[in-house]
Structure 1
Amino acid sequence: MTTIAVTGHMDLAPGAAGPVRAELHKLLGEFEGDDLVGRSCIARGADTLFAQEVLALGGRLSAIIPSRDYREAEVPEEDLARFDALLDAAEEVLVMPYEHAGRDAYEAANRRLLQGADRLLAVWDGSPPSGLGGGTADVVASARAAGVRVDVVWPPEAVRTSTQA
Protein backbone atom coordinates (compact mmCIF):
# COMPACT_ATOMS: atom_id res chain seq x y z
CA MET A 1 0.00 0.00 0.00
CA THR A 2 1.25 3.48 -0.90
CA THR A 3 -0.07 6.64 0.74
CA ILE A 4 0.19 9.74 -1.38
CA ALA A 5 -0.79 13.13 -0.02
CA VAL A 6 -1.62 16.22 -2.03
CA THR A 7 -1.16 19.91 -1.62
CA GLY A 8 -1.82 22.56 -4.19
CA HIS A 9 -3.33 25.78 -5.27
CA MET A 10 -7.05 26.33 -4.82
CA ASP A 11 -7.21 29.07 -7.44
CA LEU A 12 -6.53 27.08 -10.60
CA ALA A 13 -7.97 28.71 -13.72
CA PRO A 14 -10.75 26.68 -15.37
CA GLY A 15 -8.52 25.71 -18.30
CA ALA A 16 -5.87 24.31 -15.96
CA ALA A 17 -8.04 21.50 -14.56
CA GLY A 18 -7.69 19.15 -17.54
CA PRO A 19 -3.89 19.39 -17.88
CA VAL A 20 -3.36 19.15 -14.11
CA ARG A 21 -5.62 16.11 -13.84
CA ALA A 22 -3.81 14.47 -16.79
CA GLU A 23 -0.48 14.92 -14.97
CA LEU A 24 -1.97 13.54 -11.75
CA HIS A 25 -3.27 10.54 -13.71
CA LYS A 26 0.23 9.83 -15.05
CA LEU A 27 1.80 9.98 -11.60
CA LEU A 28 -0.94 8.02 -9.82
CA GLY A 29 -1.45 5.53 -12.65
CA GLU A 30 1.57 3.47 -11.61
CA PHE A 31 -0.40 2.25 -8.57
CA GLU A 32 -2.99 -0.49 -8.74
CA GLY A 33 -6.48 0.01 -7.33
CA ASP A 34 -6.69 -0.19 -3.58
CA ASP A 35 -2.89 -0.31 -3.23
CA LEU A 36 -3.24 3.46 -3.56
CA VAL A 37 -4.40 5.58 -0.65
CA GLY A 38 -4.81 9.24 -1.54
CA ARG A 39 -4.83 11.71 1.33
CA SER A 40 -6.47 15.08 0.70
CA CYS A 41 -8.15 17.96 2.52
CA ILE A 42 -10.55 18.04 -0.49
CA ALA A 43 -10.39 21.81 -0.83
CA ARG A 44 -11.33 23.25 -4.21
CA GLY A 45 -8.73 23.14 -6.97
CA ALA A 46 -5.78 20.77 -6.69
CA ASP A 47 -7.09 18.77 -3.71
CA THR A 48 -10.38 18.03 -5.45
CA LEU A 49 -8.76 17.08 -8.77
CA PHE A 50 -6.40 14.73 -6.93
CA ALA A 51 -9.22 13.11 -4.93
CA GLN A 52 -11.29 12.59 -8.07
CA GLU A 53 -8.34 10.97 -9.84
CA VAL A 54 -7.54 8.67 -6.91
CA LEU A 55 -11.14 7.41 -6.94
CA ALA A 56 -11.22 7.12 -10.75
CA LEU A 57 -8.15 4.86 -10.55
CA GLY A 58 -9.82 2.63 -7.95
CA GLY A 59 -7.78 3.96 -5.05
CA ARG A 60 -8.98 4.72 -1.55
CA LEU A 61 -9.52 8.28 -0.39
CA SER A 62 -8.59 9.52 3.07
CA ALA A 63 -10.03 12.98 3.76
CA ILE A 64 -8.63 15.34 6.37
CA ILE A 65 -10.99 18.18 7.23
CA PRO A 66 -9.30 21.12 9.00
CA SER A 67 -12.18 22.08 11.32
CA ARG A 68 -15.72 21.23 12.35
CA ASP A 69 -17.09 24.28 10.53
CA TYR A 70 -14.91 23.88 7.41
CA ARG A 71 -17.77 22.94 5.06
CA GLU A 72 -19.99 25.81 6.15
CA ALA A 73 -17.23 28.41 6.52
CA GLU A 74 -14.91 27.64 3.61
CA VAL A 75 -16.57 25.59 0.87
CA PRO A 76 -18.21 27.88 -1.71
CA GLU A 77 -21.81 27.07 -2.55
CA GLU A 78 -20.90 26.07 -6.11
CA ASP A 79 -18.48 23.45 -4.72
CA LEU A 80 -20.74 21.92 -2.06
CA ALA A 81 -22.06 19.03 -4.17
CA ARG A 82 -18.56 18.00 -5.26
CA PHE A 83 -17.20 18.35 -1.70
CA ASP A 84 -20.05 16.27 -0.27
CA ALA A 85 -19.64 13.58 -2.95
CA LEU A 86 -15.92 13.25 -2.20
CA LEU A 87 -16.58 13.19 1.53
CA ASP A 88 -19.14 10.40 1.01
CA ALA A 89 -16.69 8.46 -1.18
CA ALA A 90 -13.84 8.71 1.33
CA GLU A 91 -12.95 5.50 3.11
CA GLU A 92 -11.63 7.49 6.04
CA VAL A 93 -12.59 10.99 7.23
CA LEU A 94 -10.63 12.74 9.95
CA VAL A 95 -11.96 16.06 11.24
CA MET A 96 -9.23 17.95 13.03
CA PRO A 97 -10.08 19.06 16.61
CA TYR A 98 -10.71 22.70 15.73
CA GLU A 99 -14.10 24.32 15.95
CA HIS A 100 -13.31 27.01 13.36
CA ALA A 101 -11.34 27.09 10.13
CA GLY A 102 -8.22 29.21 10.26
CA ARG A 103 -4.45 29.18 10.23
CA ASP A 104 -4.01 26.81 13.20
CA ALA A 105 -6.53 24.34 11.78
CA TYR A 106 -4.92 24.40 8.32
CA GLU A 107 -1.42 23.95 9.69
CA ALA A 108 -2.56 21.01 11.86
CA ALA A 109 -4.38 19.42 8.90
CA ASN A 110 -1.25 19.77 6.77
CA ARG A 111 0.91 18.16 9.45
CA ARG A 112 -1.53 15.24 9.62
CA LEU A 113 -1.61 15.06 5.82
CA LEU A 114 2.12 14.32 5.80
CA GLN A 115 2.18 11.84 8.70
CA GLY A 116 2.94 8.44 7.26
CA ALA A 117 2.75 9.67 3.67
CA ASP A 118 5.11 7.95 1.26
CA ARG A 119 4.98 10.82 -1.20
CA LEU A 120 3.55 14.29 -1.70
CA LEU A 121 2.15 15.54 -4.98
CA ALA A 122 2.31 19.33 -5.06
CA VAL A 123 0.22 21.15 -7.66
CA TRP A 124 2.42 24.17 -7.28
CA ASP A 125 3.72 26.98 -9.45
CA GLY A 126 6.83 27.36 -7.30
CA SER A 127 5.71 30.61 -5.66
CA PRO A 128 7.21 31.35 -2.23
CA PRO A 129 5.24 31.07 1.01
CA SER A 130 2.63 33.77 1.52
CA GLY A 131 3.63 34.27 5.12
CA LEU A 132 0.18 33.17 6.29
CA GLY A 133 1.20 29.57 7.00
CA GLY A 134 -0.57 26.47 5.75
CA GLY A 135 -0.06 27.28 2.05
CA THR A 136 1.28 25.05 -0.69
CA ALA A 137 4.90 26.24 -0.38
CA ASP A 138 4.79 25.65 3.38
CA VAL A 139 3.57 22.06 2.95
CA VAL A 140 6.25 21.38 0.33
CA ALA A 141 8.95 22.72 2.67
CA SER A 142 7.62 20.60 5.56
CA ALA A 143 7.54 17.47 3.42
CA ARG A 144 11.08 18.00 2.17
CA ALA A 145 12.31 18.66 5.72
CA ALA A 146 10.69 15.39 6.83
CA GLY A 147 12.28 13.44 3.97
CA VAL A 148 9.01 12.84 2.14
CA ARG A 149 9.44 12.60 -1.63
CA VAL A 150 7.83 15.59 -3.37
CA ASP A 151 6.68 15.54 -6.98
CA VAL A 152 5.73 18.95 -8.34
CA VAL A 153 2.87 18.99 -10.84
CA TRP A 154 2.69 22.17 -12.90
CA PRO A 155 2.08 21.52 -16.61
CA PRO A 156 2.76 24.40 -19.04
CA GLU A 157 -0.99 25.00 -19.43
CA ALA A 158 -1.50 25.49 -15.68
CA VAL A 159 -2.55 29.00 -14.70
CA ARG A 160 -3.85 30.49 -11.47
CA THR A 161 -6.62 33.05 -11.20
CA SER A 162 -4.71 34.99 -8.51
CA THR A 163 -1.35 34.95 -6.75
CA GLN A 164 -2.63 33.52 -3.46
CA ALA A 165 -0.88 30.44 -2.06
Structure 2
Amino acid sequence: MRVGITGHRGLSTEVERQVRRLLDQAVHDYVSTDLIGVSCIADGADAWFAEAVLRHGGRLEVVVPAMEYRDGLPDWHHPVYDELIRHASDVHETGLITSDSAAHMAGSETLVGLVDVLIAVWDGEPARGYGGTADVVAYGKHTGTPVRVLWPEGATRG
Protein backbone atom coordinates (compact mmCIF):
# COMPACT_ATOMS: atom_id res chain seq x y z
CA MET A 1 0.00 0.00 0.00
CA ARG A 2 1.38 3.39 -1.01
CA VAL A 3 0.32 6.04 1.50
CA GLY A 4 1.02 9.75 1.14
CA ILE A 5 0.93 12.62 3.60
CA THR A 6 -0.08 16.24 3.55
CA GLY A 7 -0.52 18.37 6.62
CA HIS A 8 0.03 21.44 8.66
CA ARG A 9 3.30 22.87 9.90
CA GLY A 10 3.98 25.05 12.92
CA LEU A 11 1.64 23.31 15.35
CA SER A 12 1.84 23.81 19.11
CA THR A 13 3.75 21.27 21.19
CA GLU A 14 0.51 19.79 22.55
CA VAL A 15 -1.12 19.46 19.12
CA GLU A 16 2.14 18.01 17.76
CA ARG A 17 2.07 15.32 20.45
CA GLN A 18 -1.52 14.41 19.59
CA VAL A 19 -0.86 14.43 15.84
CA ARG A 20 2.23 12.24 16.22
CA ARG A 21 0.10 9.72 18.14
CA LEU A 22 -2.62 9.78 15.45
CA LEU A 23 -0.02 9.34 12.70
CA ASP A 24 1.61 6.46 14.53
CA GLN A 25 -1.77 4.72 14.83
CA ALA A 26 -2.60 5.40 11.18
CA VAL A 27 0.75 4.08 9.94
CA HIS A 28 0.30 0.99 12.12
CA ASP A 29 -3.00 0.33 10.30
CA TYR A 30 -1.09 -0.06 7.01
CA VAL A 31 1.94 -2.03 8.23
CA SER A 32 0.60 -5.40 7.08
CA THR A 33 0.21 -4.07 3.52
CA ASP A 34 3.93 -3.70 2.64
CA LEU A 35 3.74 -0.02 3.46
CA ILE A 36 5.45 2.56 1.29
CA GLY A 37 5.12 6.06 2.74
CA VAL A 38 5.44 9.00 0.36
CA SER A 39 6.28 12.43 1.77
CA CYS A 40 7.79 15.80 0.91
CA ILE A 41 9.37 15.60 4.42
CA ALA A 42 8.77 19.24 5.36
CA ASP A 43 8.81 20.13 9.05
CA GLY A 44 5.60 19.11 10.76
CA ALA A 45 3.21 16.38 9.66
CA ASP A 46 5.28 15.37 6.61
CA ALA A 47 8.37 14.54 8.67
CA TRP A 48 6.41 12.99 11.57
CA PHE A 49 4.68 10.66 9.11
CA ALA A 50 7.98 9.71 7.47
CA GLU A 51 9.52 8.94 10.85
CA ALA A 52 6.52 6.77 11.77
CA VAL A 53 6.76 4.86 8.47
CA LEU A 54 10.43 4.06 9.08
CA ARG A 55 9.82 3.22 12.74
CA HIS A 56 7.17 0.67 11.69
CA GLY A 57 9.47 -0.93 9.12
CA GLY A 58 7.91 0.61 6.03
CA ARG A 59 9.77 2.07 3.07
CA LEU A 60 9.98 5.81 2.50
CA GLU A 61 9.83 7.61 -0.83
CA VAL A 62 10.45 11.35 -0.93
CA VAL A 63 9.04 13.95 -3.31
CA VAL A 64 11.24 17.03 -3.69
CA PRO A 65 9.08 19.90 -5.01
CA ALA A 66 12.01 22.07 -6.14
CA MET A 67 15.80 22.14 -6.21
CA GLU A 68 15.75 24.97 -3.61
CA TYR A 69 13.13 23.26 -1.41
CA ARG A 70 15.43 22.31 1.47
CA ASP A 71 16.77 25.88 1.66
CA GLY A 72 13.23 27.17 2.24
CA LEU A 73 12.69 24.93 5.25
CA PRO A 74 13.65 26.10 8.76
CA ASP A 75 17.36 25.67 9.54
CA TRP A 76 16.53 23.56 12.61
CA HIS A 77 14.75 21.05 10.34
CA HIS A 78 17.68 20.51 7.94
CA PRO A 79 19.27 17.65 9.95
CA VAL A 80 15.89 15.85 10.11
CA TYR A 81 15.31 16.42 6.38
CA ASP A 82 18.80 15.16 5.54
CA GLU A 83 18.39 12.05 7.69
CA LEU A 84 15.00 11.21 6.19
CA ILE A 85 16.16 11.67 2.60
CA ARG A 86 19.12 9.37 3.34
CA HIS A 87 16.63 6.66 4.33
CA ALA A 88 14.49 7.12 1.21
CA SER A 89 14.30 4.14 -1.12
CA ASP A 90 13.40 6.50 -3.97
CA VAL A 91 13.39 10.27 -4.52
CA HIS A 92 10.99 11.88 -7.00
CA GLU A 93 11.77 15.39 -8.26
CA THR A 94 9.45 17.79 -10.06
CA GLY A 95 12.29 19.39 -12.01
CA LEU A 96 11.37 22.84 -10.71
CA ILE A 97 14.05 25.09 -9.23
CA THR A 98 12.40 27.81 -7.13
CA SER A 99 10.70 26.65 -3.94
CA ASP A 100 7.47 28.63 -4.05
CA SER A 101 3.79 27.84 -3.60
CA ALA A 102 3.45 26.65 -7.20
CA ALA A 103 6.35 24.21 -6.72
CA HIS A 104 4.89 23.02 -3.42
CA MET A 105 1.56 22.30 -5.12
CA ALA A 106 3.36 20.57 -8.00
CA GLY A 107 5.16 18.40 -5.46
CA SER A 108 1.89 17.58 -3.76
CA GLU A 109 0.27 16.72 -7.09
CA THR A 110 3.20 14.41 -7.85
CA LEU A 111 2.79 12.82 -4.42
CA VAL A 112 -0.96 12.28 -4.89
CA GLY A 113 -0.24 10.63 -8.24
CA LEU A 114 2.05 8.12 -6.55
CA VAL A 115 -0.24 6.94 -3.73
CA ASP A 116 -3.23 4.69 -3.11
CA VAL A 117 -4.45 6.78 -0.17
CA LEU A 118 -3.62 10.24 1.16
CA ILE A 119 -3.46 10.98 4.88
CA ALA A 120 -4.21 14.63 5.62
CA VAL A 121 -3.33 16.18 8.97
CA TRP A 122 -5.91 18.88 8.45
CA ASP A 123 -8.11 21.02 10.65
CA GLY A 124 -10.75 21.34 7.92
CA GLU A 125 -10.06 25.03 7.38
CA PRO A 126 -9.18 26.68 4.04
CA ALA A 127 -5.55 26.83 2.97
CA ARG A 128 -3.60 29.86 4.21
CA GLY A 129 -1.86 30.07 0.85
CA TYR A 130 -1.86 28.29 -2.51
CA GLY A 131 -0.66 24.74 -2.16
CA GLY A 132 -1.71 24.44 1.48
CA THR A 133 -3.22 21.35 3.03
CA ALA A 134 -6.80 22.17 1.99
CA ASP A 135 -5.68 22.55 -1.64
CA VAL A 136 -3.93 19.18 -1.56
CA VAL A 137 -6.99 17.53 0.00
CA ALA A 138 -9.19 19.03 -2.73
CA TYR A 139 -6.77 17.84 -5.42
CA GLY A 140 -6.71 14.34 -3.95
CA LYS A 141 -10.48 14.16 -3.90
CA HIS A 142 -10.64 15.55 -7.46
CA THR A 143 -8.37 12.76 -8.70
CA GLY A 144 -10.35 10.09 -6.86
CA THR A 145 -7.59 9.36 -4.37
CA PRO A 146 -9.09 8.34 -1.01
CA VAL A 147 -8.30 10.94 1.65
CA ARG A 148 -8.09 10.02 5.34
CA VAL A 149 -8.24 13.13 7.52
CA LEU A 150 -6.55 13.08 10.92
CA TRP A 151 -7.03 15.89 13.40
CA PRO A 152 -7.12 15.80 17.20
CA GLU A 153 -10.60 16.47 18.54
CA GLY A 154 -10.89 20.01 19.87
CA ALA A 155 -7.41 21.04 18.66
CA THR A 156 -6.72 24.35 16.97
CA ARG A 157 -3.95 25.19 14.56
CA GLY A 158 -3.18 28.49 16.22
**TM-score normalized by the length of structure 1:** 0.89
Aligned to 2:100: 102
For 2:61 and 2:156, how far apart are their aligned partners in 1?
Answer: 27
Structure 1 CA distance for aligned equivalents of residues 13 and 53 of structure 2: 20
Q: Is the 8 A contact 1:12 1:158 kept in 2?
A: no
Alpha-carbon distance between aligned partners in 2 of 1:55 and 1:157, rounded to the nearest angstrom: 29
Instruction: Rate the CA distance shift 1:83–1:34 in 2: closer, same or farther, 3 A.
Output: farther
Aligned to 1:23: 22
1:71 aligns with 2:90: no
Amino acid at match of 1:139: V
Note closer, same or farther for the CA distance 1:14–1:37 as it changes in structure 2 (3 Å cut).
same
Which one-letter code corresponds to 1:146 in the other structure? T
- RMSD of the alignment, in Å? 1.6
Distance 1:158 1:91, change over 3 A: farther
Number of the residue aligned with 2:35: 36
> Is contact 1:67–1:96 with CA below 8 Å preserved after alignment?
yes
Counterpart residue identity of residue 134, structure 1: G
Answer yes or no: is 1:85 the counterpart of 2:62.
Answer: no
Relative to 1, partners in 2 of residues 1:3 and 1:157: Cα closer, same or farther, differing over 3 Å? same
In the alignment, the residues of structure 2 paired with residue 10 and residue 151 of structure 1 have an alpha-carbon distance, to the nearest angstrom, of 18
Using the TM superposition, give the Cα deviation of residue 33 of structure 1 relative to its aligned residue in structure 2, in angstroms. 6.4
Structure 1 residue 122 corresponds to structure 2 residue 120: yes
Equivalent pair of 1:66/1:109 in contact (CA under 8 Å): yes
Distance in 1 between residues matched to 2:12 and 2:151, nearest whole Å: 13
Q: Deviations over 1:128-161 (max 9, x none)?
A: 133x321100010111111111111101364424
Alpha-carbon distance change, 33 to 57 in structure 1, aligned in 2, over 3 angstroms = farther
2:122 and 2:73 map into 1 onto residues whose CA distance is: 21
Which ranges in structure 1 are unaligned for 5 or more consecutive residues? none
1:150 maps to amino acid: V
Q: Please point out which of 136, 139, 148 is paired with 1:151.
A: 148
Q: CA deviation at 1:12?
A: 1.2
Amino acid across the alignment from 2:144: G
The whole-number CA distance in structure 2 between the counterparts of 1:134 and 1:115 is 15
Distance 1:127 1:31 in 2: 27
Q: What TM-score do the two structures reach when normalised by structure 2?
A: 0.93
The share of aligned pairs that are identical, in percent, is 37
More helix, by proportion:
2
Shift of 1:27: 1.5
Q: Which residue of 2 aligns with 1:112?
A: 110
Give distance in 1, aligned partners of 2:60 and 2:3: 10
